[in-house]
Amino acid sequence: MKKLIEVSNLNIAYGSAAGWTNVVQGVSFEIARGEAFGLVGESGCGKSTVAYRLLGYGTINSLVQTGEVLFDGTDLLKLDAAALTRLRGERIALVPQNPTTSLSPGMRVGAQIREMIATHKALPEGMTMERHIVELFALVGLPDVGHRYPHELSGGQQQRVTIAMAVACNPDLLVLDEPTTGLDVTTQRQIVQLLAGLRARIGMAMLYVTHDLALLAQIADRVGVMYAGQLVEVAPCEKLLSAPAHPYSRGLIASIPTMDGAAQPGRGLRGVLRRDQMSTGCKFEPRCDFATAACRTTPQALEPVAEARAVACMRWREAVAPHFPVPVKREEEKAAEAPARLLSVTDLALSYARPGPFDRLLGRTSPAVVRDIDLDLRAGEVLALVGESGSGKSTIARAISGRLPPRAGIISLHGAALAPALKDRSVEELRQIQYIFQNPDASLNPRRRIRSILARAIDHFGIAVDEKALETVLDNVGLHADYLDRFPDQLSGGERQRIAIARALLVNPKLLICDEILSALDVSVQARIVELLRSLKEKHAVAMLFISHDLAVVQEFANRVAVLYRGELMQLADTATLLSEPLHPYTEMLLEAAPGLRKDHYVSRPPSAPNSKAAPGVGCPLAGRCPRQIGSLCAETRPPVQETDNGFIRCHLTTGDLASGASPANRSDHSRQSRSVS
Amino acid sequence: MTLVTSTPSRRFSTDRWRATPGPFKVGVVILAAHALFAVIGALWAPYGFAEMGAGLPLSGISWGHPMGLDQIGRDVFSRFMHGAHIVLLLSFAGTMLGMVAGTTLGLLSGYVGGWFDAVTQRVVEAMISIPFLALALVMIIAAGPALAGTPVLIVFVVGLVYAPRITRIARAAAMEIATREYVAVAELRGEGTWSIVFREILPNAANVLLVEFSLRLSYAPILIGALGFLGFGIRPPTPEWGLMISENRNLLIASPVTVFGPGLGLASLVIGFNLFTDGLSRMLGQRPVAGA
Amino acid sequence: MSVFRLLASRILLSALTLLLVSILIFLILEALPGDVATRILGREATAKALEVLRSQLHLDQPAFGRYSQWLGDFLRGDLGVSIATGRPIADVLGPRIVNTLLLSLFAFAIYLVLALVPAVIQAVNRGKPIDNVISVITLLLLSLPDFLLATMLLFLFAVAVPILPALATISENSTWQEMLRAMVLPAVTLAIMMAVYAIRVLRDSLIEVLRSDYVRLAELKGLRPRAVLFRHALPNAIVPALNVTALNLGFLIGGVVIVERVFSYPGFGTLLIDALQLRDIPLIKATVMISAAVYVAANLVADVLAVLLQPRLRTSR
C-alpha cells in the first residue's frame, strides 16, 4: 500500500510568557490510503495538536521545531497559505470535536455545505447543487435539513452535517477530532457506525483522535498511543487491546471499567500527567509501576518489536510478562438482616419552573419532566440512578435535596416526610442529606482556602469536633494535611472532588447524593475516586444515591440500579440481575450500545414502530424508539409496573415474554467492557 | 459580556509589580503624580487661586506664568495647582457612593430574583434610559439654588448617575455566580441570603466589581469636568479644571495655553485611570464593559 | 417564540420603561420636598413672581393630578408651553430636533467607518505593531473629555489652520454646502467619541470570534481568508458592538449637548442647556422625555438587529 501521509520526527512547542514548552516530541507515523489510524491518549497529551498539523494548521503560539508531514509527497509544513487553502476541504477534511460550536451559528447548514462545494468547484458534472446537497444529507442518514440553522438540530444531527460537509468533496483523508465526545452513547455508536460505512463506500483514509479506546476498537485498523507528547506504542488495534505492551497502554486499558470484572492485563493508572514533573528520561517514569533508576535518565524512543508494532519502553518485556494482578476483591454482600429504610420517594412528579403568577392567571402549567417516581433506599445502601443526558436524573436529586420543590409526591427520611422546600427543612435534616456535585471546579468557593471551606460546614451545623478533625477527614479521602492551606485552583480536578467528598463526610450524613461526580474527570482519576467511594461506603456505612450515565462504573459498587428514561423509571433491579438479565428493552439498548474492547459489528436495532410518537405522560416514553414495541398500544396506554424478584419493570410485555426473546446473541461470548451510557 | 473568573488574587510584592502589564505601570505612575500634586499643589502654587493681578492679563507664557494668565489676570498655573485635588476627590467620592449603592442592590437583586429583581430592574432600566448628562443636569436643577455648586451635590449626582449602571453589572455577576455549585452547597447547608451574598458571591464578584469601579472612576473626571464646563458644576472661583477650560475658552485665540493647561491635567488624569483599568482588567482576566 | 412575539414583548417593555422614566423625571423635578417655585427662581424672588410661576405650573394642584395631566397631554402630542418664551414647546423643539437629527446622521455615517475599519485591521493583525498603535490611539482619544476634544479640533481646524468654520451656525436659508461644512467639526467630534468605545468592543469580540471553532472549521474547509472574515466572523462579531452602540447612545446624546454647545450649533442639546439655565421646567421635561425615548428606541432597534443577525437568539430568549 502506498503511504498517503507520512509524519516524521515531528516536534512542536507552545510559547507562553514563561517560555517554550514542548508539547509534541519526535512523533512519527504513517497512514496508508484507505487506512484508519487511531490516536489515543489522556487530555493534554498533544494528540489534537498532531492531528491539526495534518491539515497544515497550528495555533499562533505554537511552533513546529523539526519534522515533516508528507501528504502525497508534499510537505504540508512548507506549503504557503494559498496552497494549503486549496488542499484543505478538497483533499484533507476535518470533522470537528464539537459540532455545536463548529457550525457557523448565523448560516443555514445547507449554505455551509454549498459554500464548501462551491469553493472547491467540486460539483459532480450533470448535477445541480441542490440535488448534490440532498444526496449528501441522505448519505449521512439525514432528511433534507439544508434550510435549518445549526441550533435547530440535535447534537447528533449537527455532527452528521459536519460529516456530510467533510465528505462533500471526496477527500483522500478525513481528520476526526474526538467526533463523538459529548454525544449520548447510542448516538455515539450510530455515528461510529456511519463513519465505518462511509469508509467502506468512499474508501478514504482516516485519522481518528480520541480518548476513548473502546470506540476506537470499532473503527481503527492501527492505533498510536500518546503520552506527554510522545508516541509510546503503535500497534494494530486488536493486538493493542488484547495484549498491550507499554505500561501506559496497559494502565489506560485497565482503567476502563469492565462490565464483568474480568481479570485485566494490568493495573489502573496512578497519578496524573504533570508537565512540570517530567523526568529527563522516560516521560511516563513518575507514574510507571515498572520504572527503574535507569528509566529516569534514559529517554525512550519507539522501537519495532514485532510485525507492524513498536513500543517506546526498554522494559516492555518485563511489563508484559505474566505477573499476578492484585484481584480487586469484591466483598460479597452479606445477606444479613435488612437494614431500616432510610429514604423513600413516592409518586414523585417534577417540573422545572414553578408556574409564575402570569401562568397561573392563564391556567398554564409547565409539563412534568419527571413522573411517577417510586424509590426507596436503605441505610448504608448504594442505589444507582442511570439514564441518558436529559432523562431527569439530576432533577430527581435536586428534589430530594430540597432545591426543587416537587409538583406532587412525598419524599421522606426515616419515615418522616420532608418539607418540599429547602427553607422549611430543619438544620438536622439538611445535615443528614449531603450533596456532591458533578463539576469539582465549581463546587468549591475559589476565594476560600480549603481549611475555611471545610470549617464552614462544621461551624454551620455546630458539630463538636477535635482540632485534628480536618486533618483526619483529609486523610480519609487520601489527601495530605498540607492541602488545608491551599486554594481550590491549586488542586487538580480529582483532588477537588476529594475535598467535596470530605466536606460532605465531615458532618456525618446519612445519605450522600453523588450527582455525576465522575463525569468531569479523566478515566484514570475516575477509577481511583470509585475506589475511594467504595472504601468510604464500608467504613462509614453511609447510604448513597449514585447518579451516573455510566453503567460500567455503577456496576462496580452499586447494590441496586434504577434505569431512567425521559423522566420515567423503566426498571429497578439488583445490579447483578440487571446486567445478567436486563429484560427491559431500554436496558438492553443501553447495554448493547456500550462498546466492548473488541470490534462487535454493532448495528443499532431498528425501532419496530418508528412512526409512533411518545407523548409525555400518555404512553410509554420509549414508544417510537423501542425495538420490541408491540404496536400502537405502547404509545397510547401507560405500561403497567410489574414486580420482579428484587425490583420492578415498567413495560407492556410480560416478564416472561421479555425473557424469552431477550438475550442478544453475543452477550456472553466475550468479556464486555463498557463506558458511558450517555 | 462580563466574564467572571475565579482566580484568587495573591499578595502584592515587588516581584508581582514587575510582572504587571506595562499599561498598568504607566497608569500607576501617572496617578501617583496626580496624587502628589493634589497633596502639595496648594503649597507649591506661587499665587492664590483667586488672586487677581498676578500679572498682565493675557500676557502669554513666561517662566513666572507657565500656563499664562486669564482674562482677569489670575495665574493659571497657580489655579491649576490649587485645583489638582478637586476632581480627584470628587471622582473618588462620587464613584464610591455609586459603587456601594449599586453593588448592594445589584448583588441582592441578582441573587434573590423574583419580584424584587423585576422591580429593581425596571427602575434601573428607566434611570439608564435617561442620558446620563441630562439626568445629572436635571438633578442639579432640582436640588435648587441653595445646593447648586457645592461639592456634596456633585458627589451625590455622580453617585446617583453611576448606581444604576453598577447595579446592572453587579446583578449580572451575581446571577452567573449564583449558578455555581458552591452557592448551591451553601444553600443546601441552609445559610441565609445575606450570608450567601457576602460570603460566597461578593468575593467572587470582586474582580468584576474592581474593574467596574476602575472603569467608572476613569469616566468620573470627564463627567465632573463636563458639568463644570457647562456651568453646572462647582461654583466659581473654585479652580475646577472643567470650569477653567470653560472660562478660558474665549482666550483660545489669544492664549491657547490657558485652555490646554487644565485640559492636559484633566486628560492625563483620565489616561492614568484608563491605563490602570486596562492593566487591572488584564491582570484579573476581566474584560471591562465599555460604555453606558 | 416567534420573532413577532419577541418584538411585541420588547415594545411593551420599552413602553413600561418610558412610563417609569416619566414618573422619575416628574418626581425629580416637581415632587422633591421644598417649594418648586423658590427652587426655580431663587430665594431673592419677589412673592408676586413666585405666585405667577406657581399658577403657571399649576403648583396649587396635587402632585398626582399634575402628573396625570402632563402625561395625558404629552401622549396626545401637547408638549405644553415654555415658561421662558411663552411659545408652544412643540414649535420650539421641532426645528431643533431636525437640526440635531441631521448632525447625528452625518456623525453616524462617519462613525461606521471610524469604528469598523480600525477594529478589523486590529483583529486581523492582533499582537502586531499596528494593533498596538491603534490601541494606544483609541485609549488616548477615550481619555479626552468630549468638551476638550471638541475645543482642540476647533482650535486646530478653525484657528490654527482655519479651513473650517469655528461656529456651526446654520439657518433656514443656508445652502446645503454651507450646512455640510458647518457640521464637519461637530460631526467628527461625535463620531470619534462613539467610535473609540465601539473599536475596543468590536476588536475584542472579533478576536474572540476568530478563535472560535466555527471560524477554524471555515478556515479548514479551505475557504479564502476574505470569505472567512466577512461571511463567518464579522456578522457574529458585530452583535456585541451593536449593543454597545445602542448603549452608548446615552453618551451620544450627552455628547450632542456638549458638542453643540462648543460649536454653537442650534440643535436639541443647546436647547436643553438653555432650558436648564432658564429653569424652564415644562421644556426640560419635554426634552428629557424625548431623549429617553430616542435611547429606548435605539436599544429596541439594536435588539431586533441582533436577533436578525443571530438566528439562535430567536428561540433561546
- Higher per-residue confidence, A466 vs A472: A472
In this model, does residue A3 exceed pLDDT 50?
yes
Query: In chain C, what is the straight-line distance between the N-terminal and C-terminal CA atoms, in Å?
Result: 8
Q: Half-sphere exposure (CA, 13 Å, Cβ side) for B82?
A: 18
Subunits next to C (3 or more Cβ pairs <8 Å) are A, B
Question: Does any CB of chain A come closer than 8 Å to the CB of residue B290?
Answer: no
In this model, does residue A353 exceed pLDDT 80?
no
What is the structure's pLDDT at A364? 57
What is the structure's pLDDT at A434? 92
Give me the residue label for grid cell 462617519.
C110
Residue of C142, C147, C243 best to disrupt the B interface, most CBs of B under 10 A: C147
- Higher per-residue confidence, A339 vs C34: A339
From the list B129, B132, B144, the residue facing C39 with the nearest CB is: B144
In this model, does residue A367 exceed pLDDT 80?
no
The three cell numbers of residue A541 are: 456505612
Q: Which residues of A are less than 8 Å from C231 in CB distance?
A: 104, 107, 115
In this model, does residue A561 exceed pLDDT 50?
yes
pLDDT tier at A499, thresholds 50, 70, 90 = very high
What is the model's pTM?
Answer: 0.80
Separation between Cα atoms, residue C185 and residue C177, nearest integer Å:
14
What is the structure's pLDDT at B8? 43
Predicted ipTM of the assembly: 0.84
pLDDT tens column, B114-161: 889 989 999 998 998 888 888 898 888 888 777 888 889 999 999 999
Subunits next to B (3 or more Cβ pairs <8 Å) are A, C
Q: Flag residues of chain C having pLDDT under 50.
A: 1, 316-317
What is the structure's pLDDT at A599? 66
From the list A104, A105, A120, the residue facing C222 with the nearest CB is: A120
The region of weakest confidence among A93-102, A337-346, C20-29, C104-113 is A337-346
Burial A331-360 (b: 16+ CB within 10 A, else e): eeeeeeeeeeebbbbeebbbbeeeeeeeee
Give CA torsion, residues A605, A609, A614, A617, to 10 deg.
-100
Residue A645 burial (CB count, 10 A) = 9
Separation between Cα atoms, residue B72 and residue B69, nearest integer Å:
8
What is the structure's pLDDT at A277? 65
Q: Is the dihedral of CA A494, A499, A502, A503 positive or negative?
A: negative
pLDDT tier at A62, thresholds 50, 70, 90 = confident
Question: Does any CB of chain C come closer than 8 Å to the CB of residue B221?
Answer: yes
From the list A427, A430, A447, the residue facing B8 with the nearest CB is: A447
Q: What is the mean pLDDT of residues A507-526?
A: 85
Q: What is the mean pLDDT of residues A406-429?
A: 87
CA distances (Å), origin A52, targets A56, A77, B221, C218: 7, 11, 50, 14
In this model, does residue A281 exceed pLDDT 90?
no
pLDDT tier at A267, thresholds 50, 70, 90 = low
Q: Which of A44, A58, A43 is nearest to A10 (CA)?
A: A58
Query: Where is C29: in which H helix or E strand?
Result: helix C3-30
In A30-108, alpha helices (H): 47-53, 81-87, 99-102
* Mean pLDDT score across all residues of chain B: 82
From the list C223, C231, C315, the residue facing A151 with the nearest CB is: C315
In this model, does residue A621 exceed pLDDT 90?
no
What is the structure's pLDDT at C83? 75
Residue A430 burial (CB count, 10 A) = 22
In B147-256, alpha helices (H): 151-178, 181-189, 193-195, 202-229, 241-248
Query: Where is A4: in which H helix or E strand?
Result: strand A3-16
DSSP string, A260-315: S-PPPSSPPP-S---TTS--SS-TTGGG-TT--HHHHHS----EEEETTEEE--TT
In this model, does residue B46 exceed pLDDT 70?
yes
Q: With H, G, I as helix, E, B as strand and everything else as coil, classify residue A32.
A: strand
Q: What is the mean pLDDT of residues A390-397?
A: 86
What is the structure's pLDDT at B287? 63
What is the structure's pLDDT at B7? 43
- Give, as one character, the DSSP assignment of residue A482: G
Residue A17 burial (CB count, 10 A) = 5
Q: What are the residues facing A311 on neighbouring strands? A: A233, A303
What is the structure's pLDDT at C157? 85
CA distances (Å), origin B126, targets B108, B270, C75, C304: 19, 28, 18, 20
Q: Which residues of C are less than 8 Å from A98 in CB distance?
A: 213
pLDDT tens column, A204-231: 899 999 888 888 888 889 999 998 888 8
What is the structure's pLDDT at B9? 45
In this model, does residue A175 exceed pLDDT 90?
yes
Q: What is the mean pLDDT of residues A278-287?
A: 78
What is the structure's pLDDT at A436? 92
Q: A 446-505 residues with CB below 8 A of B?
A: 446-448, 456-457, 460-461, 487, 489, 503
In this model, does residue A326 exceed pLDDT 70?
no
What is the structure's pLDDT at C62? 75
* Mean pLDDT score across all residues of chain A: 81
pLDDT tier at A262, thresholds 50, 70, 90 = very low
Nearest chain B CA: its distance from C213 CA (Å): 19
The three cell numbers of residue B82 are: 490649587
In this model, does residue A665 exceed pLDDT 50?
no
Separation between Cα atoms, residue B128 and residue B163, nearest integer Å:
10
